[in-house]
Structure 1
Amino acid sequence: MLNKTRIKVRGYHLDLFQHVNNARYLEFMEEGRWAFFDEFFDSNDWMQQDLVWPVVNININFKSEANFGDLLEVQTHYTKMGNRSVTMKQTIVNVQTDDIVVEADVTYVCVSKAAKAAIPFPDDFRQKVELSIASLK
């Protein structure tokens, strides 16, 4: 599954140099991840479980700048499944120019709130992620 979320660059996204501040891209990617989860999960039941999914690593590469008024598309999908971790690829593309603005790999860990420790992913979640990854190959 590939989610595509569009964001228009506003004035408050800009820095002193009049292009999108690098910290804003993290916010854009977070918006893309939440939109992905809205589609990926059947309901908000996953938020009521004993499990949480903290981000433990973001590896981000800035490729080109974005400016006021640009329309950006945040593309989000799973790429790798581990025993206790899952990695997503996020790409931000300038819709008008097709330029890649940002590429990032975001890694989550499955944590039990009760145990306060990383645990293996539940089988149903693992199967759904693996199907999602396979559908993009």
Structure 2
Amino acid sequence: MDNRISRVTLRVRGYHLDGYGHVNNARYLEFLEEGRWGYFDDRPELARHFASGNPALVAVNLNINYRQAAVGGDDLEVLTRVAELGHRSARIHHEIRRIGDGQPIADADLTFVLFDVRNQQSMPIEGEIRQALEPLVLPKEA
């Protein structure tokens, strides 16, 4: 697997399910967040830029496509990569697949900005943070 992609695995548990017996749509947002945490866990050199809490990465847009239902006991993988790096925002792409058969469960694009917590405003993606992110960009496949 390309080293610009992170892989997090998880098992669907009963508390993830809704009344129909499949993963509740809101739970996928938690799965995606787990993927982002894993992405930074795998890249401590990048994570150190955010360790102090300033700047922060702030989600400003999320688009998710639900492809198939996941059910209790499914083992899933969340694949995460930086798909685009702009001057003031960047986009992370996620794919959730069932491990047993590789079937796509969901995919999502999350746009984030850097946020200066002290000054309460977004800031450009530049300097050391940009230098750390640039080699990690892997555009979304068409």
- TM-score range with shorter-chain normalisation? over 0.9
- Shift of residue 45 of structure 1? 5.2
Alignment-derived partner of residue 128 in structure 1 = 132
**Structure 1, 20-29 or 114-123: larger mean CA deviation:** 114-123
Question: How much has 1:134 moved relative to structure 2?
Answer: 5.2
The aligned counterpart of 1:17 is: 20
2:39 counterpart of 1:36: yes
TM-score, normalization: structure 2? 0.89
Moved more, 118-127 or 24-33: 118-127
Structure 2 unmatched runs, 5+: none
How many angstroms does 1:133 deviate by?
1.2
Cα distance in 2 for partners of 1:55, 1:35 equals: 16
Give the % identical residues: 35
RMSD (CA atoms): 1.8
Equivalent position amino acid for 2:104 in 1? I
Contact 2:13-2:72 at 8 Å conserved across structures: yes
What's the offset of the Cα at 1:41? Answer: 3.0
Give, as a single letter, the amino acid of the residue that structure 1 aligns with 2:68: S
- The match for 1:104 among 103, 108, 117 is 108
2:122 partner letter: A
Mean Cα displacement is larger for which, 15-24 or 37-46? 37-46
CA distance in structure 1 between the aligned counterparts of 2:101 and 2:138, rounded to whole angstroms: 29
- TM-score normalized with structure 1 length: 0.92
Q: Is the 8 A contact 2:61 2:111 kept in 1?
A: yes
